[in-house]
Amino acid sequence: FSSEVTVGRAQVQQEPSAETTEGTAISITCSRPSINSYNYIYWYPHPPGRAPAYLVSSPKDSKELRDPPGRLWVSADRRSSALWLARPRRGDAAVYYCALGD
């Protein structure tokens, strides 16, 4: 299970990679260097050989994830976010993209 990240336009920053074993929790972080007009933080996993798919978004606070089990956390100033996967499965292996939007 890994998260490799490619970011364009320098709107957000993510760690270059993160890895875990199946069933072991992982947290993937995302931050933006400056406050801008975007309100929501979105997460999109891009599994190998498949198209990216919407996973979760939130403007603030935190939000529970049901599938895969976990939580999205957004800081009070909306400048950072973390996607926590409680028990990642082999099928959750993907490039996880963080994006900003309204």
**Mean pLDDT over all residues of the chain?**
82
Q: What is the pLDDT of residues 44-78, one digit of tens each?
A: 999 999 999 999 998 888 999 998 999 999 888 87
Between strands 69-74 and 80-85, the pairing is antiparallel
Q: Grade residue 7 by pLDDT with cuts at 50, 70 and 90.
A: very low
Q: What is the mean pLDDT of residues 10-21?
A: 72
| Structural domains for the chain | 23-101 (2.60.40.10)
* Residue 82 near residue 35, CB atoms below 8 Å: no
Give CA 94 to chain center in angstroms: 11
Question: How far apart (Å, rounded) are the C-alpha atoms in residues 99 and 31?
Answer: 10
How does DSSP classify residue 68? T
Query: Is the pLDDT at 6 greater than 60, yes or no?
Result: no
Cα atoms in the Cβ-side hemisphere of radius 13 Å centred on 51: 2
